[in-house]
Amino acid sequence: MNWKLEIDECIDRRDWQSLKEILSVMRPPDVADLLETLDPPTSIIIFRLLPRDQAARVFSELEPVAQNKFIARMKDESLRSVLTMLSPDDRTELLEEMPAEVTCKLLDLLSPEDRAEAMTLLGYPEDSVGRLMTPDYIAVKSNWSVSQALEHIRKYGRDAETLNVVYVVDENRRLIDDIPIRHLLLANPQAIIESLMNRRFIYVTTTDDQEEALKKMTRYNLVALPVVDSAGVLIGLVTVDDVLDVAEEETTEDFEKKNAIVPLEITYSSASPWLLYRKRVMWLLLLAVAGFFSSSVIAAFEETLAKLVALAFFIPVLIDSGGNAGCQSSTLIIRALSVGDLSMKKWFVIVKKEVLVGLSLGVTLGLVLFVWGFIWKGGYAMGTVIGISMICVIMWANLLGGLLPVVLVKLKLDPAVASSPLITTLVDGTGLVIYFFIARIIMHI
């Protein structure tokens, strides 16, 4: 339902009671979107109309820039209330997004227990599972009965992040299994927890990259994933809503890198023109410098072009086709690497497959260009040069696009850096060398 018109009318009439009733039935993401469209004074008034628990959920949905503006305008008591109601993982995300001085201010507003918890989570490496997890979970012992476990859940489950899964720990709180809550609900109340266990559980460690949690939850269709330390002690859990946020961030970051943009790390609507300029200009300068190589190749083969001007007519189609083929190949390999379909050990498989695919594509396009060159420029030699050049350029571009992401992974760099503009620029220069070299050999010029 579109609440905008009704909300605008309530604001114009300053009918805060009616507005409060409308807000109470709206979902937190919708309220967050509404607040970001309003002027700061009005948005603060509306935010204060929200109940404490709803205010915390709405605040966690705001963009970091909007959160910062709210923090600057809210009184300490209101901030303390919101921070207390935030879940530990949402609170950690907020604290790491804020400038250092704001983070210090927010930490000072927390209770000693919440501050200690926040400092612990912030102490984990950036982008690690430790930053993403919440320590609010339910754990039971293997020697308990089902009725004991259910009583424990009723007593302490109110603060748990999720009750879909109950974790089983030993005397030292080491994780030994996880049990879906439905198994407990359907089991005999007198049965012992150990009788429900199969010890086939999936977990991540606090220092694992957040993408590892994403891969495991996607692969095994999990709604929650336990987090353990190096000794196997259960520390917390990661839930599917947190992982979906990671997936969106990673997809956005990879998309930006694939198009030669330094990741913004914030939404486009929140980014200033100056930030967009800084994130784009460096790659454009580097690619422009790399593009000089193509100009140098043409200059080096100036005599060849002067003797046979017709060669120039086919340069665009050759380098464009090579760049497109290389981009296709790199996209497929980057995606396969990111979802775990390929590993570094399979590099030879990539070489074989990409050479075969490149040869097939090259022959198909080469035949078309052979006919085109033969008919349009009326010469068998010209058609042969164009056809063979296309085969070689496509094979080289395919191989380059397939192997460059693998090399970047080997160098511990993000394979998404093998962006479409980078592949295209590399293929442009090298493709021209291949083209003119083949023309010199076949046409003796």
Instruction: Write out pLDDT tens, residues 122-131.
Output: 778 878 888 8
DSSP strand pairing (139-141 vs 165-169): parallel
Give me the sheet containing 224-228, strands edge to edge: 204-205, 224-228, 234-239
Q: Round to whole Å and give the CA distance between 173 and 194.
A: 15
Q: Is 60 helix (H, G, I), strand (E, B) or coil?
A: helix
The secondary structure of residue 111, as a DSSP letter, is -
Which residue would you say has higher pLDDT here, 413 or 365?
Answer: 365
Residue 191 banded pLDDT, cuts 50, 70, 90: very high
Is residue 53 scored above 80 in pLDDT? no
> N- to C-terminal Cα distance for the chain?
72
Q: Tell me what pLDDT residue 192 has.
A: 93
Q: How many CA atoms lie within 13 A of 39 on its CB side?
A: 4
Q: Tell me what pLDDT residue 190 has.
A: 92
Q: Quick one: average pLDDT of 318-341?
A: 80
Q: Please enumerate in sequence order all residues whose Cβ is within 8 A of that of 260, keeping only pairs 6 or more positions apart, or say none.
A: 280, 283, 284, 287, 419, 420, 421, 422
Q: Tell me what pLDDT residue 286 has.
A: 67
Q: Round to whole Å and give the CA distance between 32 and 58.
A: 6
- Judge whether 212 and 204 are in contact, CB under 8 Å: yes
Q: Quick one: average pLDDT of 70-81?
A: 78
Estimate the share of the chain in helix, then strand, then coil, as percent rounded to the nearest 5.
Answer: 70, 10, 20
The secondary structure of residue 125, as a DSSP letter, is P
Is residue 231 scored above 60 in pLDDT? yes
Residue 305 banded pLDDT, cuts 50, 70, 90: low
Q: Tell me what pLDDT residue 123 has.
A: 76
- DSSP string for residues in 288-338: HHHHHHHHHHHHHTHHHHHH-THHHHTHHHHHHHHHHHHHHHHHHHHHHHH
Is residue 1 scored above 60 in pLDDT? no
Q: Round to whole Å and give the CA distance between 289 and 295.
A: 10
Q: What pLDDT, in 10s, does the model give residues 132-180?
A: 888 888 889 999 999 999 999 888 887 777 888 899 999 888 999 999 9
What's the whole-number average pLDDT of the chain? 79
Is residue 324 scored above 80 in pLDDT? yes
- Judge whether 38 and 7 are in contact, CB under 8 Å: no
Q: Is 163 helix (H, G, I), strand (E, B) or coil?
A: coil
How much is the pTM?
Answer: 0.54
Is residue 422 scored above 70 in pLDDT? yes
DSSP strand pairing (224-228 vs 234-239): antiparallel
Closest by alpha carbon to 236, among 120, 109, 106?
120
Q: Round to whole Å and give the CA distance between 264 and 278.
A: 10
Q: Tell me what pLDDT residue 33 has.
A: 84
55-64, 262-271, 338-347, 418-427, range with the lowest pLDDT:
262-271
Residue 173 in tokens: 């709180």
Which residue would you say has higher pLDDT here, 411 or 396?
Answer: 396
Q: Tell me what pLDDT residue 279 has.
A: 67
- Cα 185–188–190 angle (5° rounding)? 120
Is residue 268 scored above 60 in pLDDT? no
Q: Please enumerate in sequence order all residues whose Cβ is within 8 A of that of 158, keeping only pairs 6 or more positions apart, or say none.
A: none
Q: Tell me what pLDDT residue 411 has.
A: 76
Is residue 288 scored above 80 in pLDDT? no
Q: Tell me what pLDDT residue 128 has.
A: 85
Q: Tell me what pLDDT residue 401 has.
A: 84
Q: Is 209 helix (H, G, I), strand (E, B) or coil?
A: strand
15-19, 103-107, 211-215, 382-386, range with the lowest pLDDT:
103-107
Say how many residues make up the chain. 445
Q: Which domains does the chain have, with CATH numbers?
A: 4-123 (1.25.60.10), 139-241 (3.10.580.10), 268-443 (1.10.357.20)
- 204 φ, ψ (degrees, to nearest 5): -130, 165
- In this structure, the dihedral spanned by the alpha carbons of residues 11, 15, 21 and 27, taken in order and rounded to 10 degrees, is 10
Residue 123 in tokens: 């102490």
Is residue 94 scored above 80 in pLDDT? no
- In this structure, the dihedral spanned by the alpha carbons of residues 139, 142, 145 and 149, taken in order and rounded to 10 degrees, is 0
Q: Tell me what pLDDT residue 145 has.
A: 93
Q: Tell me what pLDDT residue 175 has.
A: 93
The secondary structure of residue 189, as a DSSP letter, is T
- Judge whether 215 and 339 are in contact, CB under 8 Å: yes
Q: Quick one: average pLDDT of 395-418?
A: 78
In the chain, % of residues over pLDDT 70:
80
Which residue would you say has higher pLDDT here, 35 or 292?
Answer: 35
Q: What's the Rg (C-alpha) of the chain?
A: 30
Q: Quick one: average pLDDT of 226-255?
A: 79
Q: Round to whole Å and give the CA distance between 276 and 268.
A: 8
Q: How many CA atoms lie within 13 A of 425 on its CB side?
A: 18
Q: What pLDDT, in 10s, does the model give residues 391-406?
A: 999 999 888 888 888 8
Closest by alpha carbon to 283, among 268, 262, 265?
262
* CA 428 to centroid of chain Cα atoms: 30
Q: Tell me what pLDDT residue 386 has.
A: 85
Name the E strands within 86-145: 139-141
Q: Which of 17-26, 149-158, 285-294 has the highest mean pLDDT?
A: 149-158
